[in-house]
Chain A
Amino acid sequence: GQSLEQPSEVTAVEGAIVQINCTYQTSGFYGLSWYQQHDGGAPTFLSYNALDGLEETGRFSSFLSRSDSYGYLLLQELQMKDSASYFCALYNFNKFYFGSGTKLNVKP
Protein backbone atom coordinates (compact mmCIF):
# COMPACT_ATOMS: atom_id res chain seq x y z
CA GLY A 1 0.00 0.00 0.00
CA GLN A 2 0.86 3.64 -0.06
CA SER A 3 0.67 6.22 2.71
CA LEU A 4 1.75 9.84 2.70
CA GLU A 5 2.06 12.31 5.55
CA GLN A 6 2.01 16.07 5.35
CA PRO A 7 1.63 18.76 8.03
CA SER A 8 -1.98 19.87 8.16
CA GLU A 9 -1.27 23.59 8.26
CA VAL A 10 1.64 25.98 7.77
CA THR A 11 1.69 29.76 8.22
CA ALA A 12 4.25 32.11 6.69
CA VAL A 13 4.71 35.78 5.94
CA GLU A 14 4.50 37.39 2.53
CA GLY A 15 7.93 37.50 0.88
CA ALA A 16 9.29 34.63 2.97
CA ILE A 17 10.30 31.10 1.98
CA VAL A 18 8.30 28.09 3.13
CA GLN A 19 8.92 24.36 2.84
CA ILE A 20 6.08 21.83 2.87
CA ASN A 21 7.25 18.33 3.69
CA CYS A 22 5.88 15.00 2.53
CA THR A 23 7.00 11.69 3.97
CA TYR A 24 5.74 8.47 2.49
CA GLN A 25 5.66 4.71 2.82
CA THR A 26 5.36 2.69 -0.34
CA SER A 27 6.29 -0.64 -1.85
CA GLY A 28 7.32 1.14 -5.03
CA PHE A 29 6.53 4.18 -7.13
CA TYR A 30 7.56 6.04 -10.25
CA GLY A 31 7.55 9.59 -8.96
CA LEU A 32 6.19 12.26 -6.64
CA SER A 33 3.84 15.05 -7.75
CA TRP A 34 2.65 18.26 -6.12
CA TYR A 35 -0.70 19.95 -6.65
CA GLN A 36 -2.11 23.27 -5.50
CA GLN A 37 -5.76 23.79 -4.66
CA HIS A 38 -7.35 27.12 -3.77
CA ASP A 39 -10.52 27.10 -1.69
CA GLY A 40 -13.44 26.15 -3.92
CA GLY A 41 -11.14 25.43 -6.84
CA ALA A 42 -9.80 22.42 -8.66
CA PRO A 43 -6.34 21.00 -7.93
CA THR A 44 -3.72 22.19 -10.40
CA PHE A 45 -0.44 20.48 -11.20
CA LEU A 46 2.74 22.09 -9.91
CA SER A 47 5.58 19.63 -10.36
CA TYR A 48 6.73 16.04 -10.76
CA ASN A 49 9.94 14.43 -9.53
CA ALA A 50 10.87 11.17 -11.20
CA LEU A 51 14.44 11.28 -9.94
CA ASP A 52 16.08 12.29 -6.69
CA GLY A 53 17.03 15.91 -6.46
CA LEU A 54 15.58 19.35 -6.97
CA GLU A 55 13.23 20.45 -9.77
CA GLU A 56 12.75 24.20 -10.12
CA THR A 57 9.83 25.95 -11.77
CA GLY A 58 9.89 29.67 -11.17
CA ARG A 59 9.24 30.45 -7.50
CA PHE A 60 8.39 26.81 -6.77
CA SER A 61 10.85 23.96 -6.35
CA SER A 62 10.24 20.33 -5.49
CA PHE A 63 12.66 17.85 -4.02
CA LEU A 64 12.70 14.07 -3.75
CA SER A 65 14.92 11.71 -1.78
CA ARG A 66 14.00 8.08 -2.31
CA SER A 67 16.53 6.87 0.25
CA ASP A 68 14.84 9.02 2.92
CA SER A 69 11.25 8.40 1.65
CA TYR A 70 10.84 12.14 1.70
CA GLY A 71 10.00 15.03 -0.51
CA TYR A 72 9.23 18.69 -0.14
CA LEU A 73 7.79 21.65 -1.97
CA LEU A 74 9.66 24.92 -1.56
CA LEU A 75 7.86 28.18 -2.21
CA GLN A 76 9.98 31.32 -2.45
CA GLU A 77 9.01 35.00 -2.38
CA LEU A 78 5.63 34.09 -0.96
CA GLN A 79 2.65 36.02 -2.25
CA MET A 80 -0.85 36.29 -0.80
CA LYS A 81 -2.17 34.32 -3.77
CA ASP A 82 -0.07 31.33 -2.64
CA SER A 83 -2.55 30.81 0.22
CA ALA A 84 -3.98 27.43 -0.73
CA SER A 85 -3.79 23.73 0.06
CA TYR A 86 -0.88 21.74 -1.29
CA PHE A 87 -0.99 18.00 -1.91
CA CYS A 88 1.81 15.56 -2.56
CA ALA A 89 0.95 12.46 -4.57
CA LEU A 90 2.79 9.27 -5.38
CA TYR A 91 2.48 7.96 -8.94
CA ASN A 92 2.51 4.22 -9.47
CA PHE A 93 1.02 2.00 -12.18
CA ASN A 94 -1.25 4.66 -13.62
CA LYS A 95 -2.61 5.62 -10.19
CA PHE A 96 -1.98 8.61 -7.97
CA TYR A 97 -2.05 8.35 -4.19
CA PHE A 98 -2.57 11.69 -2.48
CA GLY A 99 -1.57 12.95 0.92
CA SER A 100 -4.17 14.68 3.08
CA GLY A 101 -2.88 18.12 2.13
CA THR A 102 -1.20 21.08 3.80
CA LYS A 103 -3.08 24.35 4.15
CA LEU A 104 -0.69 27.26 3.64
CA ASN A 105 -1.70 30.57 5.16
CA VAL A 106 0.28 33.55 3.88
CA LYS A 107 0.04 36.62 6.11
CA PRO A 108 0.91 40.20 5.15
Chain B
Amino acid sequence: DVKVTQSSRYLVKRTGEKVFLECVQDMDHENMFWYRQDPGLGLRLIYFSYDVKMKEKGDIPEGYSVSREKKERFSLILESASTNQTSMYLCASRAGGSYEQYFGPGTRLTVT
Protein backbone atom coordinates (compact mmCIF):
# COMPACT_ATOMS: atom_id res chain seq x y z
CA ASP B 1 0.00 0.00 0.00
CA VAL B 2 1.22 3.45 -0.96
CA LYS B 3 2.49 5.50 1.91
CA VAL B 4 3.68 9.05 2.53
CA THR B 5 4.60 9.82 6.11
CA GLN B 6 5.41 13.11 7.80
CA SER B 7 7.51 13.42 10.91
CA SER B 8 4.96 15.19 13.12
CA ARG B 9 1.19 15.76 13.08
CA TYR B 10 1.44 18.81 15.35
CA LEU B 11 4.36 21.10 16.00
CA VAL B 12 4.69 24.26 18.07
CA LYS B 13 7.73 26.46 17.55
CA ARG B 14 8.83 29.90 18.61
CA THR B 15 9.48 32.85 16.32
CA GLY B 16 13.01 32.76 14.98
CA GLU B 17 13.55 29.03 15.46
CA LYS B 18 14.83 26.86 12.64
CA VAL B 19 12.21 24.24 11.83
CA PHE B 20 12.60 20.96 9.95
CA LEU B 21 9.64 19.11 8.48
CA GLU B 22 10.41 15.65 7.18
CA CYS B 23 8.57 13.63 4.57
CA VAL B 24 9.23 10.04 3.55
CA GLN B 25 7.60 8.03 0.75
CA ASP B 26 7.95 4.32 0.17
CA MET B 27 6.82 4.21 -3.48
CA ASP B 28 10.12 5.02 -5.22
CA HIS B 29 8.51 8.15 -6.69
CA GLU B 30 10.70 10.62 -8.55
CA ASN B 31 8.65 13.70 -7.70
CA MET B 32 7.98 15.12 -4.26
CA PHE B 33 6.15 18.28 -3.24
CA TRP B 34 5.62 20.55 -0.26
CA TYR B 35 2.39 22.53 0.03
CA ARG B 36 0.89 24.71 2.66
CA GLN B 37 -2.84 24.78 3.17
CA ASP B 38 -4.66 27.75 4.66
CA PRO B 39 -8.42 28.27 4.97
CA GLY B 40 -9.89 29.79 1.83
CA LEU B 41 -6.61 29.59 -0.07
CA GLY B 42 -6.47 25.95 -1.04
CA LEU B 43 -3.10 24.27 -1.40
CA ARG B 44 -0.18 26.42 -2.44
CA LEU B 45 3.05 24.90 -3.72
CA ILE B 46 6.16 25.87 -1.79
CA TYR B 47 8.81 23.70 -3.47
CA PHE B 48 9.02 20.51 -5.42
CA SER B 49 11.77 18.08 -6.34
CA TYR B 50 11.92 15.93 -9.48
CA ASP B 51 15.03 13.98 -8.54
CA VAL B 52 17.61 13.59 -5.79
CA LYS B 53 19.33 16.92 -5.11
CA MET B 54 17.06 18.66 -7.67
CA LYS B 55 14.50 21.24 -6.64
CA GLU B 56 12.32 23.94 -8.10
CA LYS B 57 10.52 26.82 -6.47
CA GLY B 58 6.78 26.80 -6.30
CA ASP B 59 4.50 29.77 -5.87
CA ILE B 60 5.48 30.75 -2.32
CA PRO B 61 9.12 29.76 -1.63
CA GLU B 62 10.06 32.83 0.42
CA GLY B 63 11.19 31.92 3.91
CA TYR B 64 11.56 28.22 3.06
CA SER B 65 14.25 25.93 1.73
CA VAL B 66 14.26 22.21 0.93
CA SER B 67 16.62 19.29 0.87
CA ARG B 68 16.47 15.99 -1.00
CA GLU B 69 19.53 13.89 -0.34
CA LYS B 70 17.78 10.54 -0.83
CA LYS B 71 15.00 9.63 -3.23
CA GLU B 72 12.55 8.69 -0.51
CA ARG B 73 13.03 11.74 1.72
CA PHE B 74 12.16 15.39 1.16
CA SER B 75 12.68 17.94 3.90
CA LEU B 76 11.19 21.40 4.27
CA ILE B 77 13.19 23.90 6.29
CA LEU B 78 11.96 27.13 7.81
CA GLU B 79 15.17 29.05 8.32
CA SER B 80 13.71 31.46 10.86
CA ALA B 81 10.11 30.70 11.70
CA SER B 82 7.63 33.55 11.72
CA THR B 83 4.03 33.72 12.87
CA ASN B 84 2.78 34.01 9.28
CA GLN B 85 4.17 30.53 8.66
CA THR B 86 1.60 29.05 11.01
CA SER B 87 -0.21 26.65 8.70
CA MET B 88 -0.93 23.06 7.70
CA TYR B 89 1.99 21.63 5.70
CA LEU B 90 1.32 18.79 3.31
CA CYS B 91 3.88 16.64 1.57
CA ALA B 92 3.04 14.70 -1.60
CA SER B 93 4.78 12.39 -4.01
CA ARG B 94 4.08 11.40 -7.60
CA ALA B 95 5.56 8.86 -9.97
CA GLY B 96 6.96 10.12 -13.24
CA GLY B 97 4.35 9.75 -15.99
CA SER B 98 1.47 9.65 -13.51
CA TYR B 99 -0.92 12.47 -12.62
CA GLU B 100 -1.84 11.12 -9.23
CA GLN B 101 -0.29 12.73 -6.19
CA TYR B 102 -0.21 10.85 -2.90
CA PHE B 103 -0.39 13.07 0.15
CA GLY B 104 0.91 12.62 3.65
CA PRO B 105 -1.30 13.27 6.70
CA GLY B 106 0.03 16.81 7.14
CA THR B 107 1.85 18.70 9.87
CA ARG B 108 -0.01 21.47 11.63
CA LEU B 109 2.66 23.98 12.56
CA THR B 110 2.01 26.77 15.03
CA VAL B 111 4.61 29.50 15.39
CA THR B 112 4.21 31.62 18.51
Contact = CB atoms under 8 A, between A and B. Distances in A.
Interface of A: 4, 8, 31, 33, 35, 41-45, 48, 50, 87, 89, 91, 94-101
Contacts of A87: 42-43
Pick the 4 closest A-B CB pairs, nearest first. Answer: A42-B103, A48-B99, A100-B42, A98-B42
Nearest to A6: B42
Given A42-B90, A42-B106, A95 B45 contact: yes
Given A50-B99, A99-B42, A100-B41, 6 more contacts: A4-B42, A42-B4, A45-B101, A45-B102, A95-B56, A98-B42
Contacts of A45: 99-102
Contacts of B105: 41-42
> DSSP class of A's interface residues: helix, strand, loop or mixed?
strand
Nearest to B49: A94
Contacts of B104: 42
Contacts of B99: 31, 33, 45, 48, 50, 91
B43 A94 contact: no
A45 B93 CA distance: 12
21 contacts: A31-B99, A42-B90, A42-B103, A42-B104, A42-B105, A42-B106, A43-B43, A43-B103, A45-B101, A50-B99, A87-B42, A94-B31, A94-B50, A94-B56, A95-B48, A95-B58, A96-B33, A96-B43, A96-B45, A98-B35, A100-B41
A49 B105 CA distance: 25
B73 interface: no
B29 interface: no
B41 to A, nearest CB: 6
Contacts of A4: 42
Contacts of B42: 4, 87, 98-101
